[in-house]
Amino acid sequence: MAEPPLDALTETPPQALVMPNPDRPEPLINRILWMILQAPEATPELPPIPRGSQLTNGSALEAVRLYLTDAKPGSTAALMGHFSGTEIGRLLSRLLKREALVTSADIAQELRDGIVQLKRQLVTESMRQMAQDVRLGRLSAEDLNEALAAHKK
C-alpha cells in the first residue's frame, strides 16, 4: 500500500469559520468581509488566500474573492444570494447585521489599508510555514534565507 505524500501528512486542514462575537475584537478578515459587503462592486483586487491558511475565516474571504472575480460588477444582494444556505452565507449574514465598523466615507481607504495588512499577515504566515519546512527537512536553510531576503526588498 502506497503511503500518502509527506505534504498530505503535514498540511493543516482549513479552519472552521468563526462567527462574530460582540465580546471579542473583530478579526481582520471579518472586517474586510464587512467592508466588501458594503460595496462589493468597488472592491479592489484581493490577494489569494492559500489553501490551508490558518488566518481566521481565510477560506470565506477566498470564496468571496473567487466569486467577485467572476461576477464583476457584484452587488451585496448577488453576493448574499450566491452564498445563501452555506456556512459562508451565515457568516456574511451575521457580518452584514453588525453595526458599522467604519464610517461610509472611510470604507474605501479602510479596505485598502486592510488589504495591505492582510498581505503582511499572509507573508508572515508563509515565512512561518517555510521555517516549519526547514525544520522538517523539506526546504534548505539557504532557500529560507533567500526567501527572507526577497521579502525584505
Residue 8 to residue 15: CA distance in whole angstroms: 16
Stretch 85-90: mean pLDDT, rounded?
Answer: 95
Can you tell me whether residue 13 is helix, strand or coil? coil
From the list 23, 78, 68, the residue with the least C-alpha distance to 45 is: 68
Residue 56 C-alpha from the chain's centroid: 7
Domain annotation covers residue 82 = yes
Res. 89: pLDDT tops 80? yes
Q: What does the pLDDT read at residue 3?
A: 47
Contacts of 137-140 with CB under 8 Å at 24 or more apart are: 138/6
Domain annotation covers residue 10 = no
Domain annotation covers residue 16 = no
| CATH number for the domain harbouring residue 88 | 1.10.860.10
Quote the domain boundaries for residue 40.
25-152
Q: How many domains does the chain have?
A: 1
Residue 58 C-alpha from the chain's centroid: 3
Q: What does the pLDDT read at residue 9?
A: 41
pLDDT in tens, 11-68: 555 677 878 776 677 789 999 999 999 989 889 999 999 988 888 899 999 999 999 9
